[in-house]
Chains A and B, each alone.
Chain A
Amino acid sequence: MSWSAETIKRARDIVARYPEPRSAVMPLLYLAMREDGYLTDDGIKRVADLVGITAAQVQSVATFYVMYKTEPKGKYLISMCTSISCYLMGADDVLHALEEASGVPAGEADSEIAVEHAECIGACGGAPACLVNYELIEGLTTEKAKDLVKWLRDGKPETINGDELQTLFGGVTSFDWAIKEENAAIGPYPAFPVFGTAAVNSEALEPGRGA
């Protein structure tokens, strides 16, 4: 598990973007997840070295935030919101449908799919809602949830595009999404070109921070 020269350059660019190196810990943890699929001890050590703190310090940060996964989450992480607005609109039933269709109980993962419950994901107007690799589906139903699992299992998509998900499995939305986009997630972490964690990698990292 060694990082490519390109990844190391990207990591250094991210560090340079902040007034103090330690601020780069969070973006670098995402970069480390992209490298290994989840957060490994090696990834944590590398992040520590890049910003000049100890691995234990990085570990203490990583374990604070639920999106840093220190265990494998397969290729597709389904995060089902069970907070109040989604609960009111039947989220518990949808979560059970996801668990049943995938055979994966919430909080666990097989080699392909992980299922978890999430706290409010900011899609309450389109409740119940879930995320697949942090790409959103609003207006989910138990039936569509089962279709989603089947689609992932059968099709094994390389990347996850939010607009496609919403078209296939979504319903009512919190607001008019209006604009379609090409970007897509490549693993169980948020797709953000700056971190190299998205499928379409634009000019994202520029511009550099003026010294």
Chain B
Amino acid sequence: MAYPLVVTERMMEHPADSHTMERYEATGGYQAARQALGQTRDELVEVVKASGLLGRGGAAFSAGLKWSFLAPARPAYLVVNGDESEPGTFKDRQLLERDPHQLIEGMIIAAKANEVYESFIYIRGEYPKPARRVQQAVVEAYAKGYLGKGIFGTDYNLELTVHLGAGAYICGEETALLNSLEGRRGEPRLKPPYFPAAKGLYMKPTIVNNVETIANLPHIINKGAEWFSGLSDSEDTGTFMMSISGHVNKPGNYELPHGLTWRQVIYDVAGGIRNGNELKAWVPGGASAPWFVPDLHLDRPITKAACAEDGSMLGSGAIIVMDHTTDMVGAAERLVAFFAEESCGQCTPCREGTTWLDMILQRVLDGAGRDADIDLLLDLSDNISVGLAWPPKQTTICPLGPSAVSPVMSLVRHFRDEVEAHIAKGIHSGGQGTPVSIRGSA
């Protein structure tokens, strides 16, 4: 079952040197940039719109449409989001490390399409190796005259700077990322009015796109919008990177067409469950996504629409697979703990709510849960995300707070009996409690 590859083709065929300028150019690299430099903003926006390319950073918004919204004021900026910190997600790391010129060429195209002369790649601080690879490629591109003044012998100028984060998941949220890039605390801004397309970096119109989104652009320019939409049988066009982790035999990144079923991906692509174990549940789109379970979802197609219909999302393309040995309360606690740790602290429902959710899950795990704790979890969740709807209602500046509710809701919906069992064994039910190992003292 060989699926067509787009953004990972070069690194698969030329593993030893897919990151070099030499290999990149020998395999057709930088031709799309040359072509794009001769095209107008309208032409480029049109072709990307027509390709149906959706943002790969989690929100799956049309890239072409986003570009068309860019306010006319100039200067405008292009910022590539390489903050990749959603638990389960490690696809951008591979794209940055193994094919950095593909990203740079995509940025030249995005810059031209949006009349941008100054661009940035924001890479999370825990990724120094990907950052080094990209920086090396940037230096090569400047040396060749593909970046800087008068690129490719045209009169177009484009500066590109690699910016390193410093350990804050929230900086993946685009407005937080812009604050961070301005040398501030990475706190999200209110939208409206601070939509990046209107008031972005230094309050100027700014395009923020994910690494994978941008990496697709050279291919769309080279081969056309129709080719791109033809890669998939479903309404979602092109391919997408799935990061598969957890209890599967073959974890890893896989570039796949949209529209396969979860069964195909978990059992065929990722080699099934370790030790021949039973599949219990999986997180379909990064830590923020409500869980799926085999009885209901295994044969459902992997598309944006199908996931939305089933009350979840494809998000960042991270699948976290859990087998029957998994303590689901433990899994939920670990997910909630992430949000509690990464909350930027601006909004009370998020800052306080995630912390309390985590503490309650902790005490249930430690054998100190109370009968009322399930209702308490639900009540708290409802305060963070009113009505517990999907997609979650937002009471906060950004979606992080409401995201933390997903694991709790998934736990109570699908595995309520496991929560009750923990509580029944606990000290408040006359049991001994079952102290479990929790993370180190910090």
A191 at the interface (CB under 8 A from B): yes
Which residues on the B side are within 8 Å of A107 (C-beta)?
A: 440-442
Looking at the complex, which one of A17, A61, A85, A204 makes contact with B320 (CB distance below 8 Å)? Answer: A85
User: Cα distance A190–B125 when bound, in Å?
Assistant: 7
User: Cα distance A179–B437 when bound, in Å?
Assistant: 38
Among B98, B136, B246, which residue has the most Cβ atoms of chain A within 10 A?
Answer: B246
Contact A23 B126 (CB under 8 A): no
Contact B440 A67 (CB under 8 A): no
B216 at the interface (CB under 8 A from A): no
Contact A82 B167 (CB under 8 A): no
Q: Please report the number of residue pairs spanning A and B whose Cβ atoms sit closer than 8 angstroms.
A: 244
A144 at the interface (CB under 8 A from B): no
Contact B245 A124 (CB under 8 A): yes
Contact A67 B166 (CB under 8 A): yes
By the criterion of a CB under 8 Å from any partner CB, how many residues of chain B are at the interface? 84
Among B75, B162, B326, B344, which residue has the most Cβ atoms of chain A within 10 A?
Answer: B162
A68 at the interface (CB under 8 A from B): yes
- How many A residues touch the partner, as a band? 35 or more
User: Cα distance A180–B220 when bound, in Å?
Assistant: 31
Q: How far is the CB of B20 from chain A (nearest CB, A)?
A: 9
Contact B168 A96 (CB under 8 A): no
| Contact segment of A4-12, A115-123, A147-155 | A115-123
Q: A17-B161, A135-B129, A181-B132 are in contact. Are A65 and B167 (CB under 8 A)?
A: yes
Contact B331 A209 (CB under 8 A): no
Residues 98 to 147 of chain A near chain B (Cβ within 8 Å):
99, 105-108, 115-127, 131, 134-136
A169 at the interface (CB under 8 A from B): no
User: Cα distance A95–B438 when bound, in Å?
Assistant: 10
User: Cα distance A183–B135 when bound, in Å?
Assistant: 13
Q: A96-B437, A209-B161 are in contact. Are A124 and B128 (CB under 8 A)?
A: no
Q: A191-B132, A192-B132 are in contact. Are A175 and B253 (CB under 8 A)?
A: yes
User: Cα distance A176–B245 when bound, in Å?
Assistant: 15
Which residues on the A side are within 8 Å of B338 (C-beta)?
A: 83-84, 119-120
Contact B247 A88 (CB under 8 A): yes
Contact B142 A207 (CB under 8 A): yes
Looking at the complex, which one of B87, B125, B180, B330 makes contact with A134 (CB distance below 8 Å)? Answer: B125
Contact A207 B167 (CB under 8 A): no
Contact A124 B438 (CB under 8 A): no
Which residues on the A side are within 8 Å of B326 (C-beta)?
A: 88
B244 at the interface (CB under 8 A from A): yes
Contact B135 A204 (CB under 8 A): yes
Which residues on the A side are within 8 Å of B159 (C-beta)?
A: 209-210
Q: A82-B334, A125-B251 are in contact. Are A192 and B342 (CB under 8 A)?
A: no
Which residues on the B side are within 8 Å of A22 (C-beta)?
A: 182-184
Contact A174 B93 (CB under 8 A): yes
> Quick one: CB contact mask for B82-117 with A, threshold 8 Å, 1 for yes?
001111111011100110000000000000000000
| Smallest CB gap from A190: residue in B | B128
A27 at the interface (CB under 8 A from B): yes
Contact B85 A120 (CB under 8 A): yes
Which residues on the B side are within 8 Å of A65 (C-beta)?
A: 125, 165-168, 186
Which residues on the B side are within 8 Å of A43 (C-beta)?
A: none
User: Cα distance A93–B437 when bound, in Å?
Assistant: 8
| Smallest CB gap from A79: residue in B | B126
Q: A65-B125, A119-B87 are in contact. Are A207 and B148 (CB under 8 A)?
A: yes
Contact A122 B167 (CB under 8 A): no
Residues 155 to 211 of chain A near chain B (Cβ within 8 Å):
162, 172, 174-179, 181, 183, 185, 190-195, 198, 202-204, 206-207, 209-210
A66 at the interface (CB under 8 A from B): yes
Q: A96-B437, A210-B149 are in contact. Are A26 and B163 (CB under 8 A)?
A: yes
Contact A85 B245 (CB under 8 A): yes
> Quick one: CB contact mask for A56-96 with B, threshold 8 Å, 1 for yes?
00001100111110000000000110111101110011011
Looking at the complex, which one of B18, B185, B318 makes contact with A61 (CB distance below 8 Å)? Answer: B185
Q: How far is the CB of B269 from chain A (nearest CB, A)?
A: 13
Contact B244 A191 (CB under 8 A): no
Contact B184 A124 (CB under 8 A): no
B279 at the interface (CB under 8 A from A): no
Contact A134 B15 (CB under 8 A): no
Contact B252 A179 (CB under 8 A): no
User: Cα distance A68–B125 when bound, in Å?
Assistant: 10
A25 at the interface (CB under 8 A from B): yes
Contact B438 A92 (CB under 8 A): yes
User: Cα distance A183–B133 when bound, in Å?
Assistant: 10
B16 at the interface (CB under 8 A from A): yes
> Quick one: CB contact mask for B236-260 with A, threshold 8 Å, 1 for yes?
0000000111110001110000000
Q: How far is the CB of B401 from chain A (nearest CB, A)?
A: 16
Contact A126 B251 (CB under 8 A): yes
Which residues on the A side are within 8 Å of B356 (C-beta)?
A: none
Q: How far is the CB of B212 from chain A (nearest CB, A)?
A: 13
B287 at the interface (CB under 8 A from A): yes
Which residues of A are in contact with B by a Cβ distance under 8 Å? 17-20, 22-27, 29-30, 51, 53, 60-61, 64-68, 79-80, 82-85, 87-89, 92-93, 95-96, 99, 105-108, 115-127, 131, 134-136, 162, 172, 174-179, 181, 183, 185, 190-195, 198, 202-204, 206-207, 209-210
* Chain A to chain B: the 9 pairs with minimum beta-carbon distance, closest first: A106-B440, A107-B442, A25-B183, A65-B166, A124-B245, A190-B128, A66-B167, A67-B167, A22-B183
13 contacts between A and B (CB under 8 A): A25-B184, A61-B184, A64-B168, A96-B437, A106-B441, A116-B440, A118-B126, A123-B93, A175-B90, A190-B131, A192-B135, A204-B135, A209-B161
**A64-B168, A119-B87, A174-B90 are known contacts; what are 13 more A-B pairs with Cβ within 8 Å?**
A22-B183, A22-B184, A23-B181, A84-B246, A93-B437, A122-B92, A122-B127, A125-B244, A135-B128, A174-B94, A175-B90, A192-B132, A210-B159
